[in-house]
Structure 1
Amino acid sequence: MTSFSVSSGDAVVHSLENLQTWKLEDAKARFSEVVRLARDADPQLVTVRGKDAVVILAADQFAKLLPLLKQPNIHELLSQSPLNSLDFESSGVQSPVREVEL
């Protein structure tokens, strides 16, 4: 089960288990209500054949999550480190080498 945190008014949703769940056919029949609840209350979970399929959430909540989707690469992480200006000597690993017959 996926965990996330979305501020929704005064409440904070921490996992899919806390969301109101709709079967696909019910969500289709009451789509306006699902959208209204997603905008005014919490994200809404829609299931297909009993399995989690999609989450409908307000656009402002989605906009808050977008920056979290960009995962920095290792170079970005290291260059942003407060320790990136340190200079150190790397002596390398000096281990014995054994002969191998081919």
Structure 2
Amino acid sequence: MHTWPVQDAKARFSEFLDACLHEGPQMVTRRGAEAAVLIPVDEWRRLQSAARPSLKQLLLSEDARTDLTLPARGQATRRKVEPML
């Protein structure tokens, strides 16, 4: 994976994009620290389809509509509270 400083990626965006399409993902750094990655759209779609479903998708799915079983309540005791003076 080739690394591009953000200034170079901005100044030579067309070349940056071509490198992504022909060579694969391209890393962008800001002040020497990794900041972002440019990847081809096909790779992005593959990653999105392989990702786990979102919370919204889980809650709206038929799999989420099951009976919720809760454990029986225990014999918890309350702690003693000293009266305020």
TM-score range, shorter chain: 0.5 to 0.7
CA root-mean-square deviation: 3.2
Aligned match of 1:24: 6
Q: Please name the residue that 1:95 is paired with.
A: 76
Greater share of helix residues, 1 or 2?
2
Sort the Cα spacing of 1:99 and 1:27 in 2 relative to 1 into closer, same or farther, 3 A: closer
Q: Which runs of 4+ in 1 moved over 6 A?
A: none
Q: Does residue 80 of the first structure (1) align with residue 63 of the second (2)? A: yes
Cα separation, 2, equivalents of 1:30 and 1:52: 18
Q: Hey, what does 1:48 align to over in structure 2?
A: 30
Aligned partner of residue 27 in structure 1, secondary structure: helix
Higher CA-based Rg:
2
5+ long unaligned stretches in structure 2: none
Calculate percent identity across the aligned residue pairs: 31
User: How many residues are matched?
Assistant: 78
Larger relative strand fraction: 1
Secondary structure at 1:33 match in 2: helix
Unaligned runs of 5+ in 1: 1-18
Task: Say which structure, 1 or 2, has more relative contact order (CA 8 Å, 6+ apart).
Answer: 2
Q: TM-score, normalised by structure 1?
A: 0.52
